Every structure is written in structure tokens, then in C-alpha cells.
Structure 1
Amino acid sequence: MRKFVPFGELRRQPTIVVDSTGLGAALTLAHWRGAATPLHLRDDTSAGSCLRALHQPATPGLAAEAVTANHFDIDGFIGVWALLNPELALAHEALLRLVAALGDFREIDWQNPLANQALQLVCWLNAEEKARFYEPFGAPARRRREDEASAEKFAWFLPRFAEVLRHSEAGRTAWQPEYARVQQAVAVLQGPLTQRANYPEIGLVVVRTPAPVPYYALFGPTAGFDYVLSLYDGQRYELECKYTTWIDLESRPTLPRLPLAALATRLNELEKSNYRWAADGLTDTGPLLRLAGRPLTKAERYADPDGRPIYASSLAASAVEAEVVAYLRQGYLGVQPKKYWTWAEVRGVGQ
């Protein structure tokens, strides 16, 4: 019978490490770049690797009775929970895979018959996490270490998740507000006021829509793409490099993410407003390029676009789109997509 242990207790006994890396792990099940996940267990999500492992019980290290993670997020939680509840996890494997991907990549196929239930579970996890603890990436603001503080979240969620998994109505009070907000946004993005342009050769999706929307709606139908350029009314824009290029994606080859600072410099040469374009660093989990007012915290950048200020540019949407497309096309000249980029290789492409 497996049990969860705080990350700091990793070396006290043989321990499976989920969605994290740590010296002394009996088995690592993580999609992080360079993680020691066995080749035959690699998956797009860390939860997916855990589910693969449950299908192969003879996997070395899987007999360890302790499981840990150094942070709490939806993908990591689903992976930990699956290892602690293997029979129930395998019975709901398809749904859990959707939940993990929606939680980590914000991607989902809304035509999937399990999509609504996956969204309900993700919204339940989000709502209870914020109400009872703190928002993702919020530990430092409370002068706490995530690897320590997150153990309290695991202790609360692990014994309660099964009921909501089996009967999502049990969590309706918690999941309904965000669920309704996302569904309303999905309707807008699927309606006549939204236009989408795909540039598959550079992994870019351009979404023109009236106003910022939640990530689950914005990124939901962007599987297979790694950049999203959002063009909102009022000449408000954001470009985001998705988390899919921070991890080792198993299902498809990717282009390495490019540093966005040079693109910010180019846009600043054209920008006539009182704001300046700024970009997050290459190794941020989801680098944003946007007009900067006050600096955003990591928690604000991770939160939904409709919850942060997005400033008006002097540039037309078509001009911003053209500059982004030109920058990515130039940066990827001679570069072929592949799996398992190292950070050294990624930095080399961007030099």
C-alpha cells in the first residue's frame, strides 16, 4: 500500500518521485526536460507516465511504498493519486489523462465525450486549492517553500478526490463558477466574433477575439501548436510560448522555443504608446511577450489572461502578427522539429 510523503522525506525510504526530480529516487515519473523517467514510461504528462507504470507492475522501483512531489499542480496530483489508487485510476484512465493535460497544457478536445467532466474536475481542484490554501506559485509570497507547503494540499485532496471523480455533482458548488465562465468563453471562441489563423510550420496559432478569456478556453483547441498570439479588441495583445516546450513532450516532435527578448526589441522600435514590450526569460514555464505596466508576479502570469491588465498598443493587430510570424520564421530557418531537446540545444538555436 503506497502512501504520500513530503518531498523533504524523499531519502528516508525508497520513494517514487512524480512530476519532479530528486536525488535518491527509487523511480522518477516526470515529463520534465532531462528527467530520469524510463524510456518506456515517457508520456506527455507526468500523470500519463504514472498510468503507464501501473500497466507495467514489474517496473524497477515501482514497488516503493512512498510517493512524493516537490509541488502541487493538477498533473502532479493526478499522478500521485493514481499511484496511491491504482485500480480506480486505471478504471478512469482516459478521463484522468484529459484532466492532467488540461491542467498542465490547458489543452482539450471539446468534442471528446469526457471533456466536460474533465473540465469539472479541473475546476474543482482549482477552486478548492484557492479557497483552502493558496493559488499556484503563491507559496513564495507567503514566505513558504512550495515543496513544504504543498504537502498540506496533498494531505487534503488525496482522500477526497475519488468521490468527485466518481460523482462530479458532489463538487458542483466548487466547480460551477469557473466551469460556467470557461464554457461561456468557449462559446465566444467558437462563434463568429473570433477568427483563428494557424501557422503549423512555426507552431503558431493566432486568435483574434474581442476580449481576454480563460486559458482553458483560449488554449483548449491548440493541441499541436506551441505559441499562441492573442489579438484582442482595443489593440491589446499577448504572445505566449506554451508549457509544451518546457517539458519533454512524448507524442510529437517540437521546435525549440526561441528567446522573445529580440522580438520585444523589434516591437519597441515600432511602438509609439507609453508602454514598452517585455518578455519573460527562455526557461520560464510559459514565457509571455506583452506590453509591460507594473511587473506581473509568477502567480499572475500563470493565472488567466482575463484576470490581468493588458495594455493598448499603438500597433495594428496585423502589424503585430506580421512581426511575430517573421521573427519565428527567421529563427527557425534550418531547424527541424525533434523530441527531447536539451536546454543547451535550445539555447544554441536562440543565439
Structure 2
Amino acid sequence: MPTRYFVPFQQLRQQPTIVVDSTGLGASLTLAHWRGAATPEPLRDDTSAGAVLRALHQPGTVGLEAEAVTANHFDIDGFVGVWALLNPELALRHEHLLRLVATLGDFREIDWYAPLADHALQLVCWLNAEEKVRFYAPFGAPARRRREDEASAEKFAWLLPRFAAVLETPETGRAAWEPEYARVKRGVAAMQSAATIVRQYPKIGLTIIRTPEPLPYYTLFGATIGTDMVLCLYAGQRYEFEYKYTTWVDLESRPTLPRLPLDALTARLNQLETSIRRWTFDGITDTGPLLRLSGKSLTKVQRYADPDQRPIHASSIPPEKLEEEVVAFFRARYARIQPERYWTWAGIRAAGAEAV
């Protein structure tokens, strides 16, 4: 295999370049799970890192001979994919672990009973901590008046040569990963306690989580594997509904239902709501749209942050009634829609219009 190196995204067309977790004209090879990305069909995977690992098993893949590798943003999935291309032998040796890391980082999902779950969490927490302390939080580049595709190159430059040491010996990064790791593990204990109730509605892809307090995403979404919508019911009649990132990308492992606009559901909840607040929702093309009671508008950084790191306001609607309304809304509108793979945004909008 060639010796590869990372280049900033702006240098994409200056040499043959593999593009990871991104799209760009002139790429020698695209390895991304983004909707509509030109990833070769045999290499498609739920995560972009998974597509990279599939490519490493097929060294004759056209375009894989390129030595330069890039991405237009930094996140854990994309980082793992880039790192794997630069360290193919080590990546294949740790393939299962890296797949867990990419999935936890992007979809916030993991089976906490899996043998490597703790190791994957440590690596994710290390990447998160070093990113925030040394650079800026996800979606924070605009606040610094910088473009993500330019600013993120500094994150790759610092983290790429240091990741292998923590991958093989997590203790070397404990000072960085332990605070978030401990917070998530406390959340896991709360999720596994008698105080938490989880219900799934598989036909509409919805998970209901009823738990006393907001928790980190890595804690909450482990219970949602295989579904694409989450309604969290917290004590004090505090609620959030979210479309998961699993319906923003192209999943290879299973078909999904399309995201639907939430205008009618929001209007219905506002009919029921007697508090001073109003129900609001984000557009379906947002990476993780939220339906929640209004307060001060959340920034993209706050929407991406964990639920326990943002305000969630009390509703006048009882939790049983809210669950009933949400379930009824999706049951009615998904009744004539079949799950599919590789939805286009045009197809999603058309399905939403027909489901009204």
C-alpha cells in the first residue's frame, strides 16, 4: 500500500486525493456515508470509517492508490477514516474497535455489554476532550470567524500522530478521557436502573425513554439502536424529540423511513400546551433536528451538545399524553410509506408532502 498523508481540504485538486466523510469535485475516491456521495457501491457502509475499512480489504479499488487524504470537517467518524488510511495495517488489526468508535462518535450508539465498549468510549472521550481543549467544540469554527474546512485541518494535524498510542494503550490518555468517561458511565448506570423505562415502536422507528434527568447522548442512544427517532420524557414534564443522525446519512445495514416535517405535530402540541412557551422544531435537513418547548434559541453548538448541557423547559402536557400524540402522528403518516435504503432529499420531501 502507498504511504499516505493528510492534506487540508482546500488542497483537494492539487494532487490525486481520497476524500473521507465529505464530498468534493476532483476526488480520486470518495469514502463517505453522506446522502448521494459517490462512494463505490461495494464499499458502502453505515459510517464513513466503515467504508474506509472496506476499501482497505480491497486494495485494488480504483482511486485507493492516491497518497493524499482529506476531509472537509473534523468529527470522530471522519477522523477514524482518515487515520485508518494513513495507518492501514494497524487499522485492520483493530477494525472492530474502530468501527465501534466511529459508530459511537457519529450515531452515539453502542451496546454497553459489548466486550470493547469501554475501550471505544475511552477513545471517543479522548478525541472529544483534546478537540475542545486544544481547538474548539464541534460547529464552533464560525464563532472564530473561520471556515470549518480550513480550521479543522489543525485538529487533524495534532491528533493523527497521537491517536495510535491511546488506541493501543488507553491509560496514556486517561487524564483527558476520564472526566467525560465517568460522566457517561454514571448515565449508563441511570439508564440501566429501575428509574428508567424504555419503549420501542419498531414499525415507526421510535424509541421512548422515560428517565428522571437529561443524560449524555452516548448514554441515551445506546437504548435506541435500530430506531431513528427518540422521545425523551424527563421528570418535571420536560421533553425533547429528536430525529437521529441515522436518517441524515445513507445507512447500508438497514432501510429507514424518511424524516417528516413536524408542522402538524407542533400545531397539535401547541393546542394542548397551556404554559407560556410554544413548541418549535428544526428543519428536516438539520443533522439532528429537535422538537422542544421554546426558550432562548439554541445555537448549533448547543443543539449538538448533550441534553444535560442545555435547558429543557417544563410543559403542561402530561407525559402519557405527549407519548400518545407523538405515536399517533407517526403511525398515521407512515402508514402508507415503506422503509427504503438510499433516500434522496427530493424523495424525503415528496414523502413528507404526501403524508400530510
Please confirm whether the aligned pair reaches a TM-score higher than 0.5, indicating the same fold. yes
Shift of 1:141: 1.2
Q: CA deviation at 1:338?
A: 1.1
Map of 1:348 onto structure 2: 350
Residue pair 1:101, 1:107 contacting (<8 A) in 2 also: yes
Listed as ranges, the matches of 1:216-231 within 5 Å are 216-231=218-233
- Residue matched to 1:195: 197
Give the secondary-structure state (helix, strand or coil) at the position aligned to 1:219.
helix
Task: Give the corresponding residue for 2:115.
Answer: 113
315, 320, 323: which is aligned to 1:321?
A: 323
> What secondary structure does 2:230 align onto?
strand
Report the more deviating stretch, 338-347 or 254-263.
254-263
Q: Find the counterpart in structure 1 of residue 263 from structure 2.
A: 261
Are residue 104 (structure 1) and residue 106 (structure 2) matched? Answer: yes
Q: Say what the alpha-carbon RMSD is for the aligned residues.
A: 0.6
Counterpart CA distance in 1 for 2:325 and 2:223 is: 24
Residue 144 of structure 2 is matched in structure 1 by: 142
| Paired residue type of 1:93 | E
- AA matched with 1:182: V
Structure 1 match to 2:164: 162
Q: Secondary structure at the match of 1:220?
A: helix
Partner of 2:234: 232
CA-CA distance at 1:168 after TM superposition:
0.3
Which of 282, 297, 300 matches 1:298?
Answer: 300
Amino acid at match of 1:191: S
Give structure 1 stretches of 5+ with no counterpart: none
Give the corresponding residue for 1:270. Answer: 272
What is the alpha-carbon distance in structure 2 between the residues aligned to residue 261 and residue 21 of structure 1? 31
Tell me which of 30, 42, 45 is aligned to 1:43. 45
Question: Aligned letter for 1:251?
Answer: S
Q: CA deviation at 1:220?
A: 1.5
How far, CA to CA, are the matches of 1:201 and 1:221 in structure 2?
16
Within 5 Å, which residues of 2 pair with 1:26-41?
Answer: 26-41=28-43
Query: Residues of 2 paired with 1:68 and 1:223: CA distance?
Result: 30
In 2, the alpha carbon distance for the partners of 1:151 and 1:335 equals: 41
Could you tell me which residue of structure 1 aligns to residue 177 of structure 2?
175
Q: The residue matched to 1:221 in structure 2 has which SS?
A: helix
Amino acid aligned to 1:301: R
2: CA distance, partners of 1:22 / 1:265? 39
Distance 2:178 2:262 in 1: 37
Q: Which residue of 1 is the match for residue 54 of structure 2?
A: 52
> In the alignment, is the contact (CA less than 8 A) between 2:198 and 2:223 conserved in 1?
no
Structure 1 position 222, deviation (Å): 1.3
Checking the alignment, whether the CA contact within 8 Å between 1:121 and 1:175 is kept in structure 2 is: yes
Partner of 1:72: 74
CA distance in 1, matches of 2:333, 2:291: 16
- Counterpart in 1 of 2:212? 210
In structure 2, give the amino acid aligned to 1:334.
R
Q: Partners of 1:49 and 1:188 in 2: how far apart?
A: 34
Question: Residue 14 of structure 2 is aligned with which of 12, 15, 19?
Answer: 12
Aligned twin of 2:83: 81
| 219-228 or 205-214, larger mean C-alpha shift | 219-228
Q: Is the 8 A contact 1:110 1:221 kept in 2?
A: no
| AA matched with 1:220 | G
Structure 2: runs of 5 or more not aligned: none
Off by >6 Å, runs of 4+ in structure 1? none
For 1:181 and 1:259, the matched residues in 2 are separated by 34
Equivalent residue for 2:287, pick from 285, 288, 292: 285
Percent of aligned positions with the same letter in both sequences? 72
CA distance in structure 2 between the aligned counterparts of 1:282 and 1:263, rounded to whole angstroms: 14
TM-score (norm 2): 0.98
SS state of the match for residue 35, structure 2? coil
| Cα deviation, residue 262, structure 1 | 2.3
- For 2:257, give the aligned amino acid: L
